[in-house]
Amino acid sequence: MKKDIERILLVEPNFPIPSKSNNHKNFLPIGLLKLASYYRDQGHKIKLVRGNLKSEDFDFKPDKIEITSLFTYWAPHVKDSVAHYRKMFPRAKITVGGIYASLMPDHCKKYTKCDQVYRGVHTEAEKCYPAYDLVTNQNPHPLDYQIIHSSRGCPRKCNFCGTWVIEPRFKAKKSIKDEINKRNVVFYDNNLLNNPYIENILKELIELKKHNKISWCESQSGFDGRVLIKKPKLAKLLKKAGFRYPRIAWDWGFENYRDIKKQLGILVKGGYRYNDIFIFMIYNWNIQFEEMEEKRIKCWEWKVQIADCRYRPLDQTFDNYYPKESQTSKDYYIHTQGNWTDALVKQFRNNVRRQNICARQGLNFYSKTFERMKAKKNIIFKTKKMSRNEVSKYLTKLKIDYWFPDDVTYSDYGLKLKYEQEKKVIELY
Ligand code: SF4
């Protein structure tokens, strides 16, 4: 082997991702796949591993190890990987890159004990076509999509978001058609619609779709609704280009509901159905539970689904949230300044989950007993034709739980709390 040819081990730490979701479109280690191509092009030998493998699984002794990182609150998994591979290959130089490394470089160096931290986007690797073969071979399911970045960065600066710290300059491509060679396309742009060439990009996708070269597209981040309001014709283009599950963000207070309604109207006019659309909502944040409930109920009125996102500060380095237990701030971040408690965080999450089931399935109410198929079919069937009052009476008599999404729900794990006199609180837990 020539002296300048290196063996480089690329590592995705043992993140808490269910193994069946390993190749899920939200979790593909795209940065490592681009680095793999970049190093291969230079003639280096590379190996990609996902998790902390045992030494007997190795046929490769690396000179360098590059470990990716994701959310700051998954830092312990990065630390574990550094320690694991350090022990196995003590002579190899270890670099950590990715989101946590870029947001908290000093913490990352000290805490993980890596040799070096790489901050931001690797500009050379960014130009490479990701080495999808490395992940396809690891999973029996063929990868049926590819990831595209038509832009990097975001021109906005929301204070709960790290995008503008990691990718401070907004850079956009004019065209992406030559990058596409799979039937499904997932855009990892932070703010796709803000690309000044978005119309051109959507027209390219429409053309590819017309010729049956692509099937569907998705945007991992939500669409910027403010851009939709300025350029409503984008909605139709998105639909024609095959974008599915459109999502818009409602990060601010209830008073913004008219804008959100307008954005939804634009998407519906573009050809989407209300229950295909998701609204991103950040909770456990500055907006209090009561107002989040009002927002949730507004979404129920519109019959759109909610993509809820539990807030963690950008420097939070742990998250041991467990939905089925009573927990404290020692376990995960609870935004006490916004009057959130563990019970309220879990209550809101639970309300959203139940409401989404109702929105998806066209149900008027949720029942845990029904969800678990523990009620007789004829009972379930009977309630479909009943009014709200009839459902309440009937299921109360049968001692079967039920919940109407338009009730502000404050159960506090068994304790029924009073919210406002006129908003009756009903929760049968
Ligand atoms: S618009 Fe989205 S990507 Fe841009 S700063 Fe705000 S949250 Fe981040």
- On the question of pLDDT at 427 being above 60, the answer is no
Q: For residue 22, tell me if it sits in a domain.
A: yes
Question: Which is more confident, 164 or 403?
Answer: 403
The number of the ligand 1 atom at minimal distance from the alpha carbon of 251 is 7
Find the domain containing 103 and state its range. 7-123
pLDDT bin (cut points 50, 70, 90) of residue 268 is: very high
DSSP 254-271: GGGHHHHHHHHHHHHHTT
Question: What is the percentage of the chain residues whose pLDDT exceeds 70?
Answer: 92
The number of the ligand 1 atom at minimal distance from the alpha carbon of 157 is 5
Report helix, strand or coil for 286: coil
Note the pLDDT tens digit of each residue in 244-264. Answer: 999 999 989 999 999 999 999
Q: For residue 53, tell me if it sits in a domain.
A: yes
Q: Which two tokens stand for residue 82?
A: 């550094």
**Pair 142, 104 in one domain:** no
Among the candidates 342, 361, 380, a domain finishes at 361
**Pair 357, 377 in one domain:** no
Which residues, in sequence order, are CB contacts of 159 under 8 Å at separation 6+? none
Alpha-carbon distances, residue 241 vs 69, 203, 244, 247, 281 (angstroms): 32, 7, 9, 15, 26
Which residues, in sequence order, are CB contacts of 107 under 8 Å at separation 6+? 75, 315, 317
Nearest CA to ligand 1 atom 6: 158
Q: What residue ranges line ligand 1, CB within 6 angstroms?
A: 154, 156-158, 161, 163-164, 190-191, 224
**Pair 355, 372 in one domain:** no
**Pair 114, 263 in one domain:** no
Q: For residue 316, tell me if it sits in a domain.
A: yes
CATH code, domain with 188: 3.20.20
Question: Which is more confident, 26 or 32?
Answer: 32
Note the pLDDT tens digit of each residue in 65-101. Answer: 999 999 999 999 999 999 999 999 999 999 999 999 9
pLDDT value at residue 19: 65
**Pair 28, 157 in one domain:** no
Among the candidates 339, 361, 383, a domain finishes at 361
Residues 5 and 44 sit within 8 Å (Cβ to Cβ): yes
Question: What is the percentage of the chain residues whose pLDDT exceeds 90?
Answer: 79
The number of the ligand 1 atom at minimal distance from the alpha carbon of 155 is 4
As a whole number, mean pLDDT of residues 379-396 equals: 92
As a whole number, mean pLDDT of residues 360-366 equals: 91
Note the pLDDT tens digit of each residue in 231-249. Answer: 999 999 999 999 999 999 9
pLDDT bin (cut points 50, 70, 90) of residue 4 is: confident
Question: Which is more confident, 224 or 423?
Answer: 224
Q: For residue 409, tell me if it sits in a domain.
A: no
Question: In the chain, helix, strand, coil percent, each to 5?
Answer: 40, 15, 45
The number of the ligand 1 atom at minimal distance from the alpha carbon of 224 is 1
- On the question of pLDDT at 227 being above 70, the answer is yes
Question: Which is more confident, 92 or 27?
Answer: 92
Distance 309 CA to ligand 1 centre (A): 14
Distance 249 CA to ligand 1 centre (A): 10
Note the pLDDT tens digit of each residue in 299-350. Answer: 999 999 999 999 999 999 999 999 988 999 999 999 998 899 999 999 999 9
Residue bearing tokens 């409930």: 293
Q: Considering the chain, what is the average pLDDT of its residues?
A: 90
Distance 402 CA to ligand 1 centre (A): 37
pLDDT bin (cut points 50, 70, 90) of residue 165 is: confident
**Pair 372, 329 in one domain:** no
pLDDT value at residue 140: 59
Q: For the ranges 103-117, 126-140, 168-182, 285-299, which has the lowest average pLDDT?
A: 126-140
Q: Which two tokens stand for residue 284?
A: 């456990």
**Spatial distance between the Cα atoms of 206 and 192, rounded to a whole number of angstroms:** 16
Distance 349 CA to ligand 1 centre (A): 22
The number of the ligand 1 atom at minimal distance from the alpha carbon of 160 is 7
Distance 222 CA to ligand 1 centre (A): 9
pLDDT value at residue 250: 94
Q: For residue 215, tell me if it sits in a domain.
A: yes
As a whole number, mean pLDDT of residues 276-282 equals: 95
**Pair 343, 238 in one domain:** yes
CATH code, domain with 46: 3.40.50.280
pLDDT bin (cut points 50, 70, 90) of residue 40 is: very high
Alpha-carbon distances, residue 242 vs 144, 180, 223 (angstroms): 15, 14, 14
Distance 170 CA to ligand 1 centre (A): 11
**Pair 259, 386 in one domain:** no
As a whole number, mean pLDDT of residues 267-286 equals: 95
Distance 287 CA to ligand 1 centre (A): 18
**How many domains, the chain?**
3
Among the candidates 89, 123, 157, a domain finishes at 123
Distance 220 CA to ligand 1 centre (A): 12
pLDDT value at residue 25: 77
Q: For residue 48, tell me if it sits in a domain.
A: yes
The number of the ligand 1 atom at minimal distance from the alpha carbon of 163 is 8
Q: Which two tokens stand for residue 41?
A: 């092009």
Nearest CA to ligand 1 atom 1: 156
Q: For residue 424, tell me if it sits in a domain.
A: no
pLDDT value at residue 398: 93
What's the alpha-carbon Rg for the chain, to the nearest Å?
A: 24
pLDDT bin (cut points 50, 70, 90) of residue 20 is: low
**Pair 42, 83 in one domain:** yes
Ligand 1 mutation pick, 163, 164, 187, 279, max ligand atoms within 8 A of CB? 163
The number of the ligand 1 atom at minimal distance from the alpha carbon of 154 is 4
**Pair 277, 170 in one domain:** yes
Ligand 1 mutation pick, 99, 103, 156, 188, max ligand atoms within 8 A of CB? 156
Nearest CA to ligand 1 atom 3: 190
Q: Which two tokens stand for residue 66?
A: 């590059």
Q: For residue 402, tell me if it sits in a domain.
A: no
**Pair 245, 276 in one domain:** yes
**Pair 329, 386 in one domain:** no
